[in-house]
Amino acid sequence: MTFETDSPRTFLRSRNKKMLAGVCGGTAEFFDADVNLVRLLAVVAVLATGGTAALVYLAAWMLVPSE
């Protein structure tokens, strides 16, 4: 039995797929998803949570390292 020993993926803000800070781009790269879908979900989350998701986005902007 063999296992692939890939290094664990790290969550980073994207420099290539960014519009504002790269948080959605980094999330899309981490989960192998379309960046526009992640951005749409982020906007829906901000509207649905009354702005709480925007605070999470700002925290990720400040805490998550860039590529």
Looking at the structure of the chain, the number of domains it has is 1
Asked if residue 47 belongs to a domain, the reply is yes
Asked if residue 40 belongs to a domain, the reply is yes
pLDDT tens for each residue of 35-46: 999 999 999 999
Q: Which domain holds residue 41?
A: 23-63
pLDDT confidence tier of residue 67, bands split at 50, 70 and 90: confident
Tell me the DSSP string of 13-59: B-SSS-SSSSHHHHHHHHHT--HHHHHHHHHHHHHHHTTHHHHHHHH
Asked if residue 4 belongs to a domain, the reply is no
pLDDT confidence tier of residue 3, bands split at 50, 70 and 90: low
Q: What is the pLDDT of residue 4?
A: 65
